[in-house]
Amino acid sequence: GARERVRPAPRRRGHAERRRGARRAEHLWGVGRAVGRGSPGSGASASLTMAAPRGSLGEDLAAQPEEAPVLPVAAAMAAAQRALGDAVHADARAAYATQRALEEECREARDAARRFAAAAARWRKEVGQFDAALRTMGDVDNWAACVAADVATVAKTLEKVAAKNADAGGSLGRQ
DSSP string, 14-74: -HHHHHHHHHHHHHHH---GGG-S--GGGT--HHHHSPPPB-TTS-BSS-HHHHTTHHHHH
- HSE value, Cβ hemisphere, 13 Å, CA-based, for 54: 6
DSSP conformational letter for 174: -
Do residues 18 and 24 lie in contact, with contact meaning Cβ atoms separated by under 8 Å?
no
Asked if residue 24 belongs to a domain, the reply is: yes
Asked if residue 1 belongs to a domain, the reply is: no
Asked if residue 162 belongs to a domain, the reply is: no
| Predicted local confidence at residue 47, as pLDDT | 42
Burial of 25 (C-beta count, 10 Å sphere; 0-12/13-18/19+)? buried
Q: What global pTM score does this model have?
A: 0.36
Do residues 138 and 127 lie in contact, with contact meaning Cβ atoms separated by under 8 Å?
no
Owning domain of residue 109: 16-117
Altogether, the residues listed in the chain come to a count of 175
| Predicted local confidence at residue 113, as pLDDT | 98
C-alpha 148/C-alpha 162 separation (Å) is 21
11-12-17 Cα angle (round to 5): 110
| Predicted local confidence at residue 112, as pLDDT | 97
How do the pLDDT tens digits run along the chain, 175 residues long?
A: 456 666 766 666 666 666 666 565 555 555 444 444 444 444 444 444 444 445 544 455 444 555 556 678 888 888 889 888 888 888 888 999 999 999 999 999 999 999 999 999 999 999 999 999 888 888 888 888 899 999 999 999 999 999 998 888 755 555 4
Asked if residue 150 belongs to a domain, the reply is: no
Asked if residue 67 belongs to a domain, the reply is: yes
Structure confidence by residue, pLDDT tens digits, 100-151: 999 999 999 999 999 999 999 999 999 999 999 888 888 888 888 899 999 9
| Predicted local confidence at residue 142, as pLDDT | 87
Asked if residue 56 belongs to a domain, the reply is: yes
Asked if residue 11 belongs to a domain, the reply is: no
Total domains in the chain come to 1
Asked if residue 99 belongs to a domain, the reply is: yes
